[in-house]
Amino acid sequence: MYNVKSKVAEEFIDDAEILSTIEYAQANKNNRQLIESLIERARNCKGLTHREAALLLECEDPGLIEKMFEVAKEIKQKFYGNRIVMFAPLYLSNYCVNGCVYCPYHAKNKTIARRKLTQEEIRQEVIALQDMGHKRLALEAGEHPAMNPIEYILESIKTIYSIKHKNGAIRRVNVNIAATTVENYQKLRDAGIGTYILFQETYHKKNYEALHPSGPKSNYAYHTEAMDRAMEAGIDDVGIGVLYGLNTYRYDFIGLLMHAEHLEATFGVGPHTISVPRLCDADDIDTDDFANTVPDDIFRRIVAVIRIAVPYTGMIVSTRESQASREKVLDIGVSQISGGSHTSVGGYVNKEEFDETTSQFDVSDRRTLDEVVSWLLDLGYIPSFCTACYRAGRTGDRFMSLVKLGQIANCCQPNALMTLKEYLEDYASPETRLKGERMIEAEMQRVPNEKVRCIAVENLERIAKGERDFRF
Ligand code: SF4
Ligand code: SF4
């Protein structure tokens, strides 16, 4: 029985509710009046229910789809402006005891080389990331109680935060590790992580079990209830997502929104971010073996309707997507992207050796961070290296209330420009620097609050003289 506040996975992600939502959406997909009224209502930025969002996603009328894109753009502009936050993944270890059939790190894969970074190797990787200009990382590790115990993850986080190389610093470490206990989530919270990220992969229990035939991850309920444990442990910011292509996108799109509704109803705050990865090729993984891969046009609609349904939630797209594909989703919803990524264990220091042998997936967008920054500037976006909120204690419901009141822009805009300035001073190529300086000059005028603007302008001058790490 569907119960949004239940603690039981199969009740807050109720299969019958998802199937009846799909039926409802298909039965009403030609109801123009209803769909128009939902699109109109979405303009007030209060979001939509999973049922309403499912109907929008089902609609095939080109004119109405165009209207949805328009509203998604409006919402994106209102909350995120033209800022895009940058991050990079850091793979610590690809040892894994699970059997996920879509991931080359699965325990039975004997062709992939297994590696785990030592603390010294982590240091070298982080210095390489700092030298690119990154300030925000997403840690990745397979699940392996003996090779990657929680102590290893905690020690690695400590190492990462401690490294200060030239003007570099990693200021926010997000963590993507396997579902774990409340005690371990408390340890992660105490280590000062930013967001705890865990993808559901698919919400369809039967398919989930088939895709995860062995290892602790095969326990659907334990995995699905992980975010509840994380939030109970005091981790305020959690990031959810499904791997599109594993199951029908309709089912997982609805499950994802039901999960967001569950967190909001239970903890008073929904997910901090939603990621939208699509299945891609890797070592012993061929996407042709999967029947549900999602085409580009549907992918764009998924991103737009998520933006409309949960306006306050950041949306992330990784280098799984190509430059062209990323470009198509920036304006309608995505607020964070990775750049210059290596999805291998040790690939930032030694890409020749380790990208070939230890990658989790084939990166589609292989450009350097400077190329990505330059491309964003050309498209009119402000690449932001901001990490201010979590460091200022603006997390969870405190963060969400500022977003909902529309006040966060007073922080995001100057922070984006000041962190871009740091990037330009320390890491950018001459061409990127020129474009970035122009962008900062033009965009500083858009800082809504005059007092904040004056301080930000002063800070820009101080950054030019060598000072670092200003934030609102
Ligand atoms: Fe292991 Fe995660 Fe890959 Fe599954 S998806 S095999 S848990 S690394
Ligand atoms: Fe994100 Fe907060 Fe920085 Fe805005 S001010 S970009 S919400 S960290």
Shared-domain flag, residues 46 and 103: no
Q: Is the CB of 39 under 6 A from ligand 2?
A: no
Cβ–ligand 2 contact at 415 (below 6 Å): yes
Substitution candidate for ligand 1 out of 94, 95, 96, 345 with most atoms within 8 A of CB: 96
Query: Rounded to the nearest whole angstrom, what is the distance from the C-alpha of residue 411 to the centroid of ligand 2?
Result: 7
For the stretch 56-61, contacts whose Cβ atoms lie closer than 8 Å and that sit 24 or more positions apart, written own/partner, are 56/305, 56/308, 56/309, 57/25, 57/250, 57/253, 57/301, 57/302, 57/305, 58/25, 58/26, 58/28, 58/29, 58/250, 59/29, 59/35, 60/29, 61/30, 61/32, 61/35
Question: What residue's CA is closest to ligand 2, atom 6?
Answer: 412
Q: Residue 126 has which token pair? A: 């982080």
Give, using CA atoms, the residue closest to atom 2 of ligand 2: 389
- Res 405: pLDDT: 83
Distance 420 CA to ligand 1 centre (A): 34
Which structure tokens are listed for 408?
Answer: 């966060």
By CB atoms closer than 10 A (0-12, 13-18, 19+), residue 429 is middle
Residue 14 included in any domain: yes
Contact 135, 336 (CB under 8 A): no
- Tell me, using a 6 A CB cutoff, whether residue 217 lines ligand 1: yes
Query: Distance between CA atoms of 188 and 277, rounded to whole angstroms?
Result: 24
Examine the fold and report which residue of 331, 366, 401 is the final residue of a domain before the chain moves on.
366
Q: Are residues 66 and 84 in the same domain?
A: no
Q: Are residues 299 and 273 in the same domain?
A: yes
Q: Is residue 371 part of a domain?
A: no
- 113 domain residue, yes or no: yes
Are 336 and 421 members of one domain?
Answer: no
- 10-residue mean pLDDT profile of the chain (472 residues): values are 97 98 98 98 96 98 98 95 97 98 96 97 98 98 98 98 96 98 98 98 98 98 98 97 97 98 97 95 89 94 98 95 95 97 96 90 94 98 96 91 84 97 98 98 93 97 98 96
320/231 same-domain check = yes
The verdict on 175 and 285 lying in the same domain is: yes
144 and 234 belong to one structural domain:
yes
Kindly state whether residues 352 and 430 are assigned to the same domain. Answer: no
184 lines ligand 2 (CB under 6 A): no
Q: Please give the distance, rounded to the nearest whole angstrom, from the Cα atom of residue 360 to the centre of ligand 1.
A: 9
- Ligand 1 lined by 143 (C-beta under 6 Å): yes
- Rounded to whole angstroms, how far apart are CA atoms 284 and 263? 35
Q: How far apart are CA 43 and CA 454, in angstroms?
A: 32
Q: Measuring from atom 2 of ligand 1, which residue has the nearest CA?
A: 142
**The domain boundary residue, chosen from 309, 333, 366:** 366
What is the spatial distance between Cα 257 and Cα 13, in angstroms, rounded to a whole number?
10
Ligand 2 atom closest to residue 85's alpha carbon, by position in its atom list: 6
CA of 131 to the centre of ligand 1 (A): 29
Q: How many domains is the chain built from? A: 3
The reply to whether 271 falls in a domain is: yes
User: Which of 55, 76, 97 is at the close of a domain?
Assistant: 76
Q: Check pocket membership of 188 for ligand 2, CB cut-off 6 A.
A: no
pLDDT at 468: 97
Ligand 2 centre to CA of 358 (Å) is: 33
Whose CA is closest to 370, among 443, 430, 413? 430
Domain co-membership, 253 together with 350: yes
**pLDDT score, position 352:** 86
Residue 1 falls within a domain, yes or no? no
Q: Which of 236, 408, 423 has most ligand 2 atoms within 8 Å of its beta carbon, as the pocket-test mutant?
A: 408
pLDDT at 362: 87
Site to substitute for ligand 2 among 86, 412, 472, most atoms within 8 A of C-beta: 412
- Rounded Cα–Cα distance for residues 382 and 442 (Å): 11
Q: Is residue 189 part of a domain?
A: yes
Domain span at residue 426 reads 388-464
Q: Is 52 in the pocket of ligand 1 (CB under 6 A)?
A: no
Instruction: Say whether both 285 and 425 belong to one domain.
Output: no
User: pTM above the 0.95 mark?
Assistant: yes
Give the distance (Å) from ligand 2 centre to CA of residue 444.
16
- Whether 418 lines ligand 2, by a CB cut-off of 6 Å, is no
Task: From 272, 387, 407, 443, give the residue whose CB has the most ligand 2 atoms within 8 Å, as the site to mutate.
Answer: 387
pLDDT at 163: 97
Q: Do 54 and 193 share a structural domain? A: no
Same domain for 342 and 438, yes or no, is no
Instruction: State residue 448's pLDDT score.
Output: 84
* Closest residue by CA, ligand 1 atom 8: 142
Whether residue 273 is contained in a domain is answered as: yes
Closest ligand to 140 CA? Answer: 1
Tell me the backbone φ, ψ of residue 426, rounded to 5 degrees: -100, -30
Q: Which atom of ligand 2 is nearest to the CA of 172?
A: 8
Contact 257, 310 (CB under 8 A): yes
Half-sphere exposure of 5 (CA within 13 A, CB side): 4
Q: Is 472 part of a structural domain of the chain?
A: no
Ligand nearest to the CA of 412: 2
261: CB partners within 8 A, 6+ apart: 4, 49, 50, 270
